[in-house]
Chain A
Amino acid sequence: MPMTALTGSRVRERRLQLGLRQADLARAAGISASYLNLIEHNRRRIGDEVLARLARALTIETGTLAAGAEGALIEDLRAAAAAGGDDQPELDRVEDLVGRFPGWARMLAAQHRRIGSLERTVNALNDRMTHDTHLSEALHEVLSAVSAVRSTAAILAETEDIAPDWRARFHANLHADSERLAVGAEALVAYLDSSDEDDETGLGAPQDEVEGWLAARGWHLPELEAGAGPAALAAEVAGLASAAARSMARDWIARAEADAAALPLMPFRAALAETDDPVRLARRFGTSVLSVFRRMATLPGAQTGLVICDGSGTLVFRKPPEGFVLPRFGAACPLWPLFDALARPMAPVEAMVEPASRTRRRFRTRAFCEPSLPGDFAGPELREAGMLIDPAPPEAAAAPARAVGTSCRICPRTPCPARREPSILIEGT
């Protein structure tokens, strides 16, 4: 029978409940009182035979004495100790603590879990401050206008002998920049005002959590290659904050496991060295094109970005490639080739795109949509589309590219035939 040192504490607790003296219990169990005293203070392991006799004398199940619900609690406390930094608690006495002060122990464990969830929130907020494109684009706009205003105004104020035509030009510039500044400041305030509402869908969204976890893992899960299976990832999944995120992570793991089985790492890499045509690769391995997409984007060290959407166009997976901003929340740009593919299942779409960023980098995209009939012939038909995003090869710099954006709200492109809502970055809209 598995036994922890805690068994002694439980013996003592039960004895006191029953109002027995140590000597009485010792006699009933056929052991010496001093030996019982050592047992009760967890200084001796108890043999099966003695345990059974103690249980009988205490009118309690042997198992209840030996096991108990403290196992999980002890694990939590060990984790708390590991995160404790310099002040190392007495790890060897953790069972003693749980046995003697169960309430305090539970509170310690609960606080440890709470700290973990607060740390995740802080990280998410931090991440948001750094990567929020709404905020940084709007701030950049304001800073640029402020710079021009400051310099120009100083020239007008400090140059006494300024020529009339220069003066007129600077006045005009000042006027234009102050207008721009007013619009930019308004956009900033409007954004900051409304960002509270985004908390539900943005910051703590389960999808963000899952993607954050996968990004931290480099998007690749080696456990699934070695055949260790999803069980090897159970602890990490359990560490995600929300139940929805845990469920989504398990779904992704199941798919990744199937992908890894259909496209084993070594042969797939070898095949990829010959061709990066997803359709040809899918045919060679007898699997679906979208599973090839997922595999290509999640190989160790893969730079390729990947977005996946469902039939409603909602992005259900986002692995951003460097330099290509994906919407954090809300819908994507309707001009993405992803949606061409969504409308025409099984037809490959390849297109060069140029996102609306100041660097004007180009990307090669390949999109494909696969329908499925999980309800058999009676339907419904579900669709899923994926789009691989790679940096364009240098020779494509002059080729025609489709002008796309991230999401209307933060897209500066104007005019745009596909715009569905005004941008916070465009004047007067």
Chain B
Amino acid sequence: MTAHVLLIEDEPNIAEAIRFILMRDGLRVSTHSGGADAIEVVRQARPDLLILDLMLPGMSGIDILSALRADPMTEKLPVLMLTARGQGRDRAAAERAGVDAFMSKPFSNTEMLASVRALVPR
């Protein structure tokens, strides 16, 4: 079965590029751009990996992550968080909230693929 990656990122062009790279690697990718309803979207999509932007409109990535970790259904979901360089304090908070890995923008496509492959069960 094809692994399913859910990408929550509000920058449409970044989202499109990531989607393309992952699809070429044989993954099924769906995208979402809002923060406020992100938790509901994750629960319904039940992805194998969540790629989550740190700064989203409506709700921060850290709040979303905390909510997911508190829910038995999603507590073990692998989460790769996208951050911008220089968000050191936010990274520390994300680590406390239980993130699995980080990817700093601007990332290279090779780095992105490597991180995703490491986190997706195949």
A, B assembled together: yes
* A residues whose Cβ falls under 8 Å from a Cβ of B: 139-140, 143-144, 146-152, 154-155, 158-159, 166, 169-170, 173, 176-177, 358-360
Main secondary structure of the interface of B (DSSP, over half): loop
B57 touches A151 (CB 8 A): no
How many angstroms from the CA of A170 to the CA of B21 in the assembled complex?
12
How many angstroms from the CA of A152 to the CA of B18 in the assembled complex?
9
A359 touches B60 (CB 8 A): yes
**B36 → chain A, closest Cβ, in Å?**
8
How many angstroms from the CA of A175 to the CA of B45 in the assembled complex?
32
Task: Judge if B11 is at the interface, Cβ distance under 8 Å.
Answer: yes
| Most chain B beta carbons < 10 A, residue from A155, A158, A159 | A155
Additional A-B contacts beyond A139-B86, A144-B11, A147-B107 (12; CB < 8 A): A140-B84, A148-B17, A151-B18, A152-B13, A154-B109, A155-B21, A176-B13, A358-B10, A359-B58, A359-B59, A360-B57, A360-B58
How many angstroms from the CA of A143 to the CA of B103 in the assembled complex?
13
How many angstroms from the CA of A150 to the CA of B36 in the assembled complex?
28
A148 touches B24 (CB 8 A): no
How many angstroms from the CA of A143 to the CA of B10 in the assembled complex?
14
CB-defined contacts of B21 to chain A, threshold 8 Å: 151, 155
Task: Judge if B16 is at the interface, Cβ distance under 8 Å.
Answer: yes
**B118 → chain A, closest Cβ, in Å?**
19
Q: Which of A140, A158, A166 contacts B109 (CB 8 A)?
A: A158
Task: List 10 A-B pairs, minimum CB-CB distance, nearest first.
Answer: A151-B17, A147-B105, A148-B13, A147-B106, A173-B13, A150-B106, A146-B106, A143-B84, A154-B109, A148-B14
A144 touches B17 (CB 8 A): no
A144 touches B24 (CB 8 A): no
Q: Mark B23-66, 1 if CB is under 8 A from A, else 0.
A: 01000000000011000000000000000000111111000000
B108 touches A154 (CB 8 A): yes
CB-defined contacts of B36 to chain A, threshold 8 Å: 360
CB-defined contacts of A166 to chain B, threshold 8 Å: 20
**A427 → chain B, closest Cβ, in Å?**
15
Task: Judge if B85 is at the interface, Cβ distance under 8 Å.
Answer: yes
CB-defined contacts of B13 to chain A, threshold 8 Å: 148, 152, 173, 176-177
Q: Given the known A-B contacts A151-B17, A151-B21, A169-B16, are A143 and B57 also in contact in the complex, defined by CB atoms under 8 Å?
A: no
B106 touches A358 (CB 8 A): no
CB-defined contacts of A152 to chain B, threshold 8 Å: 13, 16-17
A151 touches B109 (CB 8 A): yes
How many angstroms from the CA of A144 to the CA of B107 in the assembled complex?
11
Q: Which of A146, A154, A173, A360 contacts B16 (CB 8 A)?
A: A173
Give 14 A-B contacts (CB < 8 Å), ordered by A residue: A140-B55, A140-B84, A143-B106, A146-B106, A147-B11, A148-B17, A150-B107, A151-B21, A151-B109, A154-B109, A155-B21, A359-B57, A359-B59, A360-B58
Q: Given the known A-B contacts A151-B109, A154-B109, are A358 and B14 also in contact in the complex, defined by CB atoms under 8 Å?
A: no
A143 touches B109 (CB 8 A): no
CB-defined contacts of A170 to chain B, threshold 8 Å: 16-17, 20
**A68 → chain B, closest Cβ, in Å?**
52
How many angstroms from the CA of A146 to the CA of B109 in the assembled complex?
13
How many angstroms from the CA of A222 to the CA of B85 in the assembled complex?
41
How many angstroms from the CA of A144 to the CA of B13 in the assembled complex?
9
How many angstroms from the CA of A150 to the CA of B107 in the assembled complex?
8
CB-defined contacts of A147 to chain B, threshold 8 Å: 11, 14, 105-107
CB-defined contacts of A143 to chain B, threshold 8 Å: 84-85, 105-106
How many angstroms from the CA of A359 to the CA of B11 in the assembled complex?
14
CB-defined contacts of A176 to chain B, threshold 8 Å: 13
How many angstroms from the CA of A124 to the CA of B10 in the assembled complex?
33
How many angstroms from the CA of A82 to the CA of B76 in the assembled complex?
52
A358 touches B56 (CB 8 A): yes
Closest Cβ neighbor of B109 among chain A residues:
A154
How many angstroms from the CA of A360 to the CA of B56 in the assembled complex?
9
